[in-house]
Structure 1
Amino acid sequence: MRLGWYSSLTPIERRTYWACFAGLGLDSMDATIFSLVIPALIATLGLTHPQVGYLATAALLGVAIGGWGAGILADRIGRVRVLQFTILWVGIFTVAAAFANSFPVLFGIRFMQGLGYGGEAAVGGVLISEVIRPALRGRVAASVQSGYALGYAISVALLPVIASLFPEQIGWRVFFAIGILPAGLVFFIRRLVPESGVYSEAKAARDCGAMQAPFWEIFAWAHLHRTVAAVVMATGIYGGAYVMITWLPTYLRTVLHLSVATSAGYLAFNIVGSLVGPFLYGWVSDRVGRRPAFMAFLVLQAANVAAYLLAPIGPAVTIGLSFFLGAFQAALASGMLPTFAELFPTYIRASGQGFCLGGGRGFGSIVPATVGLLTASLSLGTAMATCALCAYVVAFGAAVFLPETSGTDLHEPSHDPAGQIDAQQLRASRVVRT
């Protein structure tokens, strides 16, 4: 029985796929726990809406630093080793959040969690993009983002269970403590996932005398326009996405006055959409190109957010739009994984992708915080819509200037520093993948 592109993957490609998929999924579970326990944190720790926004911003600032830092490290010591470390890091600090008793402590822990989130996403995106062949890269690498939906689904499914077993003042701590689960994935990666062959080739070339480029090479004139376009687009996409991720559970509970169980039902449709969206984006981008696909999905998502938060729609329509909200949001996020990896040569690929993904999250982190501030004069729904739509406009403008990269061969000699390694030397230094 053939399962589409999955049946075409080699054993190494499959193992790498599942490692990256599971890593993003388990990190998503830890990240979304925070959004789901916001009402409990407000009730038990006395947090205000602006403080909740600051906590979201703390994590996203950590993501910005962690994404670039882990990318720089992955360009030097390898993708797989750094991926293992970031997954373990996330688990440790998610458990630490269970013992927080004040806003300042929780702020610091959220920042430390963010370092791991950013690193895992950036390095995992580079690893899967380097391992998968160009003809399938858009579909396969984008579909890894569906792991985020699976992790979100796990946390949403656990919410009513924990709420029924523990009082609110204890339940949120138990929820955070479950975040140690991702640590087990490290053992799978260590035993079954080999290093990227593309990275191994570059490392072998360095061992033959090629010079290691500095991490600031992504700001050199040859790469600057790509770096700027990518980070600005990521800022808009993540800024809009994190408005919904951070505030949607609170919007459902406090504005639509839904119970915990009913809110979980609405979020379930959002999660199913998030599971489907990356597969849809990957299929579209491999056929029409990365840039047109980004622009189309940005328009669709902006229209959907406006209707969801501003139009007088009933419960049935809200459920339907919840599905598309998740689908378009996940589609946009998934597209950045293969696209940003294709923008940069091997010797700065992880640092370039790490900066663009992490920088986008960091710069976009002011958007959910701004929602909290705007609620002093606007309704929560209006504040969310205003911030999200402005973010998507910024992303669309940047997408216009994004180079088209679909079909890029990451093995090409042009993906090494100019003049350092010729094609014959590169072929001689290749490491055979088994």
Structure 2
Amino acid sequence: MARQDFAATGITPHTSSYYAASANPSPERPALSGDHEIDICIVGAGYSGLSTGLHLVEKGYKVAIIEAARVGWGASGRNGGQIVNGLNASLQTIRKRYGADTATFVAGLVQEGGEIIRERIKTYNIQCDLKEGNVFAAFTGAHMRDLEERVKLWESYGIKNQEMLDKDQLRRHINSDVYAGGVIDHSGGHMHPLNLALGEAAAFESLGGTIYENTVVTSVDTDAPRPVVRTRGGTMTCKTLVLCGNAYLGHVVPALESRVMPVSTQMLATEPLGDARAHDLLPTDVCVEDVRYILDYYRLSGDKRLIFGGGLVYGGTDPHDIKAKILPNLHKVFPQLKSVKIDYAWSGNFALSFSRVPQMGRLGDNTYFAHGYSGHGVTGSHTFGRILAEAISGDRTRFDVFEKVPWFPFPGGRMFRVPYSVVGSWWYALRDRLGV
């Protein structure tokens, strides 16, 4: 379901994903009604909003989160569930583009999101099938050289959790013939993403936070000394406003709309495979993503299904037939699964920034925002939530670094950003096929 659908109709159930079908019990929260005031109002109950809110209520602030649909309705409840360290833009790219100081700063926080997730799970006893290990799989010699450069660069910053794998070593983790080798990040991992979001929401509420669901924001006033959020049923006036709608913020904040583009990615979940068959596919139960521009990513769920994702649709629309789009990729990696039943197929949007670097900043004096994780939002959103909370609490050290990182609009503006990106993806996909 696209963002504009529930904005127009008020229909807010979770998408028909495996995650929604296997979600932990969660209360239906009331919609905002009437006029209210609060210290801090956050728009969006995904990872960014929940992370920011939870850090703030732990510090004693009075915080309300306004969500158009349900907690975790968007990308936070639909994604691959992979704890992948780093940003979409590599440290190599960041160093070349923004300089050594920025690269050193980013290297200091690329593992922070995963650490926050594990701390939340432990502190608040969140049941979300946490597992360890993340593999990056390479198809070509060029991919392997890029991975070797990555490992050496990360090690130069003191990050030594990654290990190169040749083809035979990779087979210990992935029972597939398609790869040339890869890297395992022992500090990566995976989990049930919607249950993580629901657990963080419960933790936020246990400390006095309030969440309003089914509350579509119609406009925000970011210029007022006390920002105002207007919804269909009421208003929320606050000292500080935080915008965390990411790919689902829609047209509500025009100043942010041109900064990112919604992009949909598709996922499948097989029937339960059983312990033996699941172990045959992924013997060490790690999660996997390959290193192509348009990549495949997959892992085993807690009940031994293969969850397999990939594909891109620029602009954030859903493909007509998700299974037809993704199944050929799954069967290429695991031809032994051609007879396996697919129980679930779904799509979800992430927010792509042109630079592939997340954006953080302010509108006016008292409105903060974070978005544009470009497909690496599971960890990035948790880190940015902490940094936003630090800034709101008076420590702007890390916030100021990200606020100053230049951002670039998509060439051609809103009208041509989709065709421009499609052409770019064709070019990079061609390079992947040619092994250059």
Task: Tell me the TM-score normalized by structure 2.
Answer: 0.24
1 or 2 for the larger relative contact order (CA 8 Å, sep ≥6)?
1
Structure having the higher strand fraction is: 2
Task: Tell me the TM-score normalized by structure 1.
Answer: 0.25
Structure having the higher helix fraction is: 1
